[in-house]
């Protein structure tokens, strides 16, 4: 039996490729023939505190177990990467398995106890999953809780950009609006319109008489051209014009001539008849 135990220790050490035994020890104060182990070699657990041989005080951890504290008496079982996790580093006698989460997920702690979904902007974590930010809240960071929109509390500020699930509202100065009559340059525009209307009216008043004179002059020249081309027609036109002028200019003479002729006819009748006998 005394030979079996050391052989088992050697086999376990070979399986883990570790040196077995105590790494640091002191001479026992109670028994000068014994040593007491202060710390085991990496991957070894403490079997007993003191003994005559330091190599017998510590033993390597069994398969699928590990130990990180060189003073502990028991090894821990290696962690298993399951579900959304994958093995990043295998377990050894002196270190636990290192797990990592699949893409889109993140470890909950340093030991990666479990994986949770990484929430983006506009979302917040809920029970290892994500939910959209509720109305009135936003989140512009990765895997953070949503916060309320900013309130524009200053008297001269107002919301100039509405908030979304991934962005806060933007506050700014209120836009100053003026009545139409107070708009700079409005009176000048009205005056300009009236000036243009007056100018157009003046041009019409000037252009109408000018056009009339041009038309009359054109007709006069046209009539003169006809007279030069047809002298007989011109004389007839002149005679007609003179006759019309005589009839319009001397109406009383015509009436007078008619009366004198009637009196002459009466005197002639009286001479023919002679004096009447009583």
Q: Judge if 159 and 130 occupy the same domain.
A: yes
What is the pLDDT at residue 10? 46
DSSP 21-32: SEEEEEE-SS-T
Q: Say how far apart CA 228 and CA 234 lie, in whole Å.
A: 8
Query: Hey, which residues does 46 pair with through a beta bridge?
Result: 58
User: Which of 157, 174, 191 is the last residue in one of the domains?
Assistant: 174
Whether 192 is in a domain gets the answer no
Whether 225 is in a domain gets the answer no
16-20, 86-90, 197-201: least confidently modelled range: 16-20
Residue 146: count of CB within 10 angstroms of its CB? 21
User: Which of 107, 140, 174 is the last residue in one of the domains?
Assistant: 174
What does the mean pLDDT of the chain come to? 78
Q: Write the pLDDT tens digit of every residue in 156-214.
A: 888 999 999 999 999 998 876 665 555 555 566 787 888 898 888 888 888 878 888 88
Whether 200 is in a domain gets the answer no
Q: Judge if 93 and 41 occupy the same domain.
A: no
Q: Judge if 113 and 143 occupy the same domain.
A: no
What is the pLDDT at residue 9? 44
Q: Say how far apart CA 85 and CA 168 lie, in whole Å.
A: 35
Q: Which helix (H) or strand (E) holds 67?
A: none
Q: Which domain holds residue 159?
A: 119-174
Whether 199 is in a domain gets the answer no
Q: Write the pLDDT tens digit of every residue in 19-58.
A: 889 999 999 888 888 999 999 999 999 999 999 999 999 9
What is the pLDDT at residue 111? 85
8-12, 15-19, 166-170: least confidently modelled range: 8-12
How many domains, the chain? 3
Whether 209 is in a domain gets the answer no
Query: What confidence tier does 233 reach under pLDDT thresholds 50, 70, 90?
Result: low
- Residues near 75 by Cβ (< 8 Å), separated by ≥ 6? 45, 61, 62, 65, 66, 67, 93
Q: Judge if 32 and 90 occupy the same domain.
A: no
Task: Say which CATH number the domain at 132 has.
Answer: 2.10.50.10
32-36, 146-150, 225-229: least confidently modelled range: 225-229
Whether 32 is in a domain gets the answer yes
103-112, 230-239, 263-272: least confidently modelled range: 263-272
pTM of the full structure: 0.46
Whether 90 is in a domain gets the answer yes
What is the pLDDT at residue 178? 61
Query: Hey, which residues does 100 pair with through a beta bridge?
Result: 86
**Which tokens go with 66?**
């590990």
Q: Judge if 73 and 84 occupy the same domain.
A: no
- Residues near 55 by Cβ (< 8 Å), separated by ≥ 6? 9, 20, 21, 22
Whether 206 is in a domain gets the answer no
**Which tokens go with 36?**
């007491």
Query: What confidence tier does 88 reach under pLDDT thresholds 50, 70, 90?
Result: very high
Alpha helix segments (H runs only) across the chain:
4-16, 186-229, 231-249, 251-273
């Amino acid at each position: 039996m005394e030979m079996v135990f050391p052989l088992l220790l050697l086999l376990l050490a070979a399986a883990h490729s570790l040196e077995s035994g105590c790494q640091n020890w002191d001479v026992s104060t109670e028994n000068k023939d014994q040593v007491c182990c202060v710390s085991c070699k990496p991957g070894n657990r403490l079997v007993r505190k003191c003994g005559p041989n330091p190599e017998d005080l510590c033993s390597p951890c069994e398969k699928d177990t590990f130990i990180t504290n060189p003073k502990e008496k028991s090894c821990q079982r290696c962690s298993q990467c399951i579900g959304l996790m994958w093995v990043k580093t295998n377990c050894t006698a002196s270190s636990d398995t290192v797990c990592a989460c699949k893409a889109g997920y993140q470890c909950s702690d340093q030991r990666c106890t479990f994986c949770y979904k990484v929430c983006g902007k506009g979302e917040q974590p809920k029970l290892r999953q994500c939910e959209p930010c509720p109305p009135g809240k936003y989140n512009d960071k990765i895997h953070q809780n949503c916060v309320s929109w900013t309130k524009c509390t200053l008297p001269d500020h107002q919301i100039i950009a509405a908030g979304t699930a991934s962005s806060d509202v933007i506050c700014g100065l209120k836009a100053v609006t003026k009545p139409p009559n107070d708009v700079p340059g409005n009176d000048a525009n009205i005056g300009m319109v009236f000036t243009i209307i007056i100018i157009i009216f003046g041009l019409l008043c000037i252009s109408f008489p000018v056009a009339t004179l041009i038309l009359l002059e054109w007709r006069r020249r046209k009539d003169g051209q006809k007279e030069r081309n047809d002298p007989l027609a011109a004389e007839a036109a002149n005679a007609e014009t003179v006759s019309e002028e005589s009839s319009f200019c001397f109406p009383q003479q015509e009436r007078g001539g008619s009366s004198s002729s009637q009196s002459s006819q009466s005197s002639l009748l009286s001479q023919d008849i002679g004096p009447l006998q009583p």
